[in-house]
Amino acid sequence: MKTEVILTHNIVGLGAESDQVKVAAGYARNYLFPQRLAIPLTHANKRRIEALKQRRAEREAHEFNTMTELAKGVTKLICVIKIKTGEDGKMFGSVTSGMIADELKHQFDITLDKRKIHIEHPIRTLGDHEIALRLHHEVNATLKLRVESTTPLPAAAETTSAPEGRREERQERRGRRFEAPAVEAAAPEQTETAKPRTAKGEKPARAEKAGKGEKTSKAKAEKSE
């Protein structure tokens, strides 16, 4: 069963102050009336419609001014969201409007209804993105969003390059080990060729000693004569 009521406050998805709407009787009786968000549509209550319209105009003017100032400031900001990624840099899931609203509150102390944050396409990549903000039915803005990984890719690249450097060092060391036997093999050849030279050098020394012995024997013989 439906009943007609007059809204005294702005209710998203239902209406604003002074609007006459039809709702379920139980919804009006159990929620709208106790919370003073609406009043029954009667001849006496219709007199309050003009006052409600005035309150609505004042509220909307205040919201318009507030959102206009917010739009000017938010375009200069960069909202950073850090999210987990795999080793290949791919994100687990996507960035949601609720996450952006939480970061705006945390980083800049800006309270913004997540329904005013419109993500046209799912954000599943790292980097910079532009998010549309519908702050008011007459005020729109663009928010710069930067998605970063909690495990940055440059750090992973450094860890992968380290083993490659170690492999090169190992290869150089192995190359040096293979060159060492060639140097040792050359040493015996030099020693073998050096032996005959030393032998030849000893023979002239013996000949000289023999010559000196003959000269002394001849001198003794001449003295005896």
| Domains recognised in the chain with CATH numbers | 2-68 (3.40.5.10), 73-154 (3.10.430.100)
Give the tens place of pLDDT for each residue, 100-135.
Answer: 999 999 999 999 999 999 998 899 999 999 999 999
| Whole-number average pLDDT of the chain | 79
* Confidence tier at 86 by pLDDT (50, 70, 90): confident
Q: Are 1 and 36 in contact (CB under 8 A)?
A: no
Give the tens place of pLDDT for each residue, 40-81.
Answer: 999 989 889 999 999 999 999 999 999 999 999 999 999 999
Q: How far is CA 23 from CA 9, 28, 46, in A?
A: 15, 7, 17
Q: What is the arithmetic mean of pLDDT over 136-157?
A: 80
Instruction: Report the distance separating Cα 155 and Cα 54, nearest Å.
Output: 60
* Confidence tier at 172 by pLDDT (50, 70, 90): low
Which of 3, 33, 5 has its CA nearest to residue 17?
Answer: 5
Q: Which amino acid is present at 65?
A: N
> Strand, helix or coil at 12?
coil
* Confidence tier at 150 by pLDDT (50, 70, 90): confident
* Confidence tier at 165 by pLDDT (50, 70, 90): low
Give the side-chain half-sphere CA count within 13 A for 99: 16
Q: What is the pLDDT of residue 152?
A: 56
**Angle CA(151)–CA(129)–CA(105) in degrees, nearest 5?**
75
Q: Is-above-0.75 flag for pTM?
A: no
Q: What is the pLDDT of residue 195?
A: 47
* Confidence tier at 1 by pLDDT (50, 70, 90): confident
The two structure tokens encoding residue 144 = 């710069």
Q: Are 105 and 123 in contact (CB under 8 A)?
A: no
Residue 214 has pLDDT above 60, yes or no: no
Give the tens place of pLDDT for each residue, 8-39.
Answer: 999 988 999 999 999 999 999 999 999 999 99
